[in-house]
Structure 1
Amino acid sequence: MIHHPQLSTMTDTITFHSTRIPDRPAVLTSTGQRSTYRELAQASEALAAGLVTLGVGAGDRVAYLGREAPAYWELLFAAARIGAVLVPVNWRLTAVEVEHILVDSDTVVVFLDGDHPLRGTTGRHEVITDTGYPAWRDTLRPPAPPYDATPSTPLAQLYTSGTTGLPKGVLLPHRSFFAIRDSLADAGLDWIDWIDGDIALIGIPGFHIGGLWFATQAFHAGAAVYSMPVFDPATVRRAVRDDGVTTAIFVPAMMRSIVSDGQGADDFTGLRKIIYGGAPISEALLEESVRVFDCDFAQIYGLTETGNTAICLPPDQHVPGSPRLRAAGRPYPGVEVRIVTDGLEVPQGSVGEVHLRTPAAMLGYWNLPDATAATLVDGWVRTGDAGYLDSEGYLYIQDRVKDMILVAGENVFPAEIENALAAHPKVADAAVVGVPDEHTGEAVLAHVVFRPGEQASTRELMLFLRSRLADFKLPNRYEVIDAVPRNPSGKILRRELREPYWQGHERRVN
């Protein structure tokens, strides 16, 4: 198992490997691009110099809006080199949603590919398109003086939606991308491991903490990162069969699309391990995946706020038919979990809110001290998920304290959709919940109350929302109701709305 304990920042990682294994592949793409560690280091150093000429310094934000490409990983290391903070932006968001992130983060420079023009942006934004990027990056400039980062230096700011409907910037330091790696190595555990020659397919997009975290783990080990601009089951098969991919990270919806494509299992003989997470997985899908992929599996559970994974269901627990397959897993060494109700820790087996204490936790929410204080409590991260611990310390997720809906691994928050629906001139009130869906885990259901004398078709509402919300946030179904059920303080009684759809389900997540 490969582990380099001397590495503690991303600058350490690229400097170390560009000297140790300069000609080894560092970045591969499904479109045929390839960079060695020497080339990745040189490109990121040139990019760092270019950022300095644009006025970027320590603590400034640089954003990336586009599909995964070598430029994204170059920007990760370039930002680290000068102490800037990378802001990955979900390319599926609408222009309005992107605008909020860029303005809220006070982004200085945004990199985007040609498919994602910005409209009406404000603030200090220098825009560099993919067509002119290589020539601009490689313009001869004085080298940027390296920034003396520490494990606590901010590295990335990822945006996650909140119950207010506005995305919050989760500020993660370098240690968020090293702590779990170090704890596993110190304990001699190979739950998530690396061997010489590994090529890691990043199925989860790099703007998600899961994709970014897994890619950094590959870089720390000197493995190659295999990026896909767009997820496609046939491309995954070719990547394993023809390009030598040995390990991968997916959300369950991706696994479902691969095992359901009607092709055989022969393409996956070179695959040794799959990491999956981002959404709950059914036992049926997991057992089918074990049969088709015929490799080791590790499930990870965590939040952006915990620096990605804090809980893992190890490979040796993936036994078909075992009740342990319903567990999220157990904490890594150095990570603690407790179950809390009304501020008090509850006994083993009792359901309550899951709290996690991890050395990889966020520094806080950007410019939101009250929200930070509500989530980070005495060193514990309040997850908003409800679950329980069994007698061996395995965590089982049962429901959500928060209102988040998971659609194929994407976090969707009802308040954001409700706010958008409320802007429709015919809508008086709305309540959004998640309901079971065979393909995406959960689907978005909108309960709508129309103004007196008004009606609107499903198509009209969909077209109205499409310009305001990303496609994965759009409701799949609409139901017209007379009034939204609320408690005396005015809060929506979502459990009352959700309950009919979850009857017969052991867990209130899918």
Structure 2
Amino acid sequence: MHARQRPDALAIDISGSSLTYGDLHTRIACLHGALVALPKRTRPAPALPLEGRLYAFAAGNHPSASVLLTAAMSTPHAVALLDPQWPEDLHHQMLVKLPPDALFCLASQTGLITAAERLNIPVIRVDTPDLAHFLNAAPEPLPWGDPADIFLVGFTSGTTSRPKAFARARHSWRASLDASRVAFALTDQSHTFAPGPLAHGITLYALAETLDLGAAFHGITRFDLGGAHRAMTNVRRIVSVPTLLDALTRGTPQDQIVEITTAGAKLPPALLDRARSTFPRARVHEYYGASELGFVSLNTHGRTSSSAPPDSVGHPFPHVSLSLRKDGEEVPQGTPGTIFVRGDLAIDGYLWGGRNSGFRREGPWATVGDIGRLNYDGSLSILGREGGMVITSGYNVYPQEIETALADVPGIQDAVVLGHTHPTRGQEVIAIFDGTTPLDEIRARLALSLPRYKLPRQFYRIESWPQTSSGKIARQTLLDWIDKKDDRLVRLSA
């Protein structure tokens, strides 16, 4: 519709590489024609329509994302969004587990390319003439998509080194778009800058949200403050996790910004104050949600007040009902319990790896295992996670996975990984171990098996572990020692 009515209007700009709505539509039509011509692989899931193909995209914020990600939203095809930060062997595992009909990646991702070629998966290097050649197909008319069709296979961290895959049907994001348009007060003038990685849900959704409005989406290939400030001059809205929002507030006031959307970690009061100072005309919409659940709650901060207590994550999002439960029974208001959500925004389940995970369903209700409290004004406060899952800069990280990787490092006798409160990341991953292995070697070995966002930010060496009465390591005592800078923990620095 936007291509027909306003073909010359800017649709997407990524670090200066831009496409109008007319150009975007034409390229998607050519991509659709090229994908339909590919042989279709047999796989157990996800089920796609006859003309639909599953293609993997691993090129991060390369400008080709403009076409390749938008195509999945507007054609019968689906995209498996691989995180470019994953180690090579994890990429290989994903290709084996979920073989796509084509892989779009960078020429520098040689390990991924080799793995795909061994599996006879066609590879299109998006930063070479490969892509132009692939798009040199006859454009095909874009058919209407069935609301039940899958358009996105996403991945979320789990208790093992293999991420859990989930499938998103079109109707769930259609419902989300209808709800967020009203909740965030969006219009066709809500030109948006999202500085984060497109492999991250908040940025990818911002792309869909902006194009649905007919506004212009601005991104950057890699975060740098100069590029971010240049992009901000052309927009009225920012969508960002608190870590990047914190960086954006380190500059002169930006009067053109009128809306900010943030998620992935609780917004610290000091950062909210800086955001109000740097963006004096902006309302700040702070939402709580999860890749599996979609939106859960919303707190909107004005210049001097908030729609809910600032230390809460707000009231339930439109179309969403909440139930806090313990041992299968709903708990009274004000009592901690596991947060269950009912609405039309959650996934049905994982394609694999869902056993013993945080996400589960009980009839129409779903949860990711967050522990919270429903306050007497109807707002929601988050208290923690079942099983100790850590959320750092919007990523789900399970300590057990990192502890397992540390146990494989020669010279480490035992290790504990904790999430410690951080002003902008929500939580920071901290590793404590006993052993003599040099820190540089530990980091190098962890980098071989873990993506960058799971690598501990701080390391401590310990000689004697505090224990509970049952003989287990006393994790809360360790957190207390960190807060008190107890000398029984020796902080290491490279």
Common fold by TM > 0.5: yes
Are the aligned partners of 2:27 and 2:135 in contact in 1 as well (CA < 8 Å)?
yes
The match for 1:306 is 293
Aligned twin of 1:8: none
Kindly state the Cα deviation for residue 497 of structure 1 after the two structures are TM-superposed.
4.1
What does 1:24-173 correspond to in 2, within 5 Å? 24-30=9-15, 32-56=16-40, 58=49, 60-80=53-73, 82-119=75-112, 120-122=114-116, 123-129=119-125, 130-141=127-138, 143-144=139-140, 146=142, 148-173=144-169
Q: 1:477 aligns with which of 459, 462, 470?
A: 459
C-alpha distance 139-79 of structure 1, shift in aligned 2 (>3 A): same
Q: Which moved more, 1:232-241 or 1:434-443?
A: 434-443
CA shift, 1:177, in A, is 1.6
> Residue 225 of structure 2: which of 233, 247, 260 is its match?
233
Counterpart Cα distance in 1 of 2:421 and 2:373? 21
Q: 1-side partners of 2:466 and 2:115: how far apart?
A: 36
1:271 Cα deviation (Å)?
Answer: 0.9
Quote the offset at 1:367 in angstroms: 3.3
Distance 1:334 1:98 in 2: 36
* Shift, 1:212, TM fit: 1.1
Report SS of the residue matched to 2:101: strand
> 2:411 is matched with which residue: 422, 426, 437?
426
Mapped contact 2:359–2:366 kept (Cα < 8 A)? no
Q: TM-score, normalised by structure 1?
A: 0.84
User: Per the alignment, in what secondary structure is the counterpart of residue 309 of structure 2?
Assistant: helix
- 1:458 alignment counterpart: 439
Amino acid at match of 1:67: G
Instruction: Give me the whole-angstrom Cα distance separating, in 2, the residues matched to 1:233 and 1:361.
Output: 35
Q: TM-score, normalised by structure 2?
A: 0.87
Q: Distance in 2 between matches of 1:346 and 1:85?
A: 40
Matched-pair identity in %: 26
**Letter of the 1:103 counterpart:** V
Query: Which residue number in structure 1 is paired with residue 492 of structure 2?
Result: none
Change in Cα spacing, 1:131 to 1:426, as seen in structure 2 (3 Å) is same
**CA separation in 2, counterparts of 1:351 and 1:503?**
27
Q: Relative to structure 1, is the Cα distance of residues 208 and 370 closer, same or farther in structure 2, using a 3 angstrom cutoff? A: same
Question: How many Å apart are 1:422 and its aligned residue?
Answer: 2.2
**Residues 148-198 of structure 1: CA deviation (Å, up to 9, x unaligned):** 52222111011111123421012111122221332466xxxx431222333
1:257 corresponds to 2:253 = no
Tell me the matched-pair count.
470
User: Could you report, residue by residue, the CA deviation over 1:2-46 in whole angstroms, capped at 9, with x for unpaired residues?
Assistant: xxxxxxxxxxxxxx222222221111122x111111111110111
For structure 1, list consecutive stretches of 5 or more residues without a partner in the other structure: 1-15, 505-510
Q: How does 1:202-217 map to 2 (within 5 A)?
A: 202-217=194-209
> After the TM superposition, which of the residue ranges 146-155 and 377-386 deviates more from structure 2?
146-155
Q: Which amino acid aligns with 2:93?
A: H
1:345 aligned partner: 330
What letter matches 2:287 in structure 1?
I
Secondary structure of 1:324's match?
coil
Distance 1:372 1:429, change over 3 A: closer
Alignment partners' CA distance in 2, 1:371 and 1:215: 32
Structure 2 unaligned spans of 5+: 41-47, 486-494
TM-superposed deviation, 1:74: 1.3
> Taking structure 1 as reference, are residues 359 and 492 closer, same or farther at Cα in structure 2, changes over 3 Å only?
farther
CA contact (8 A) 2:358 2:367 kept: no
Change (3 A) 1:29 1:77: closer
The DSSP-based 3-state class of the residue aligned with 1:55 is coil
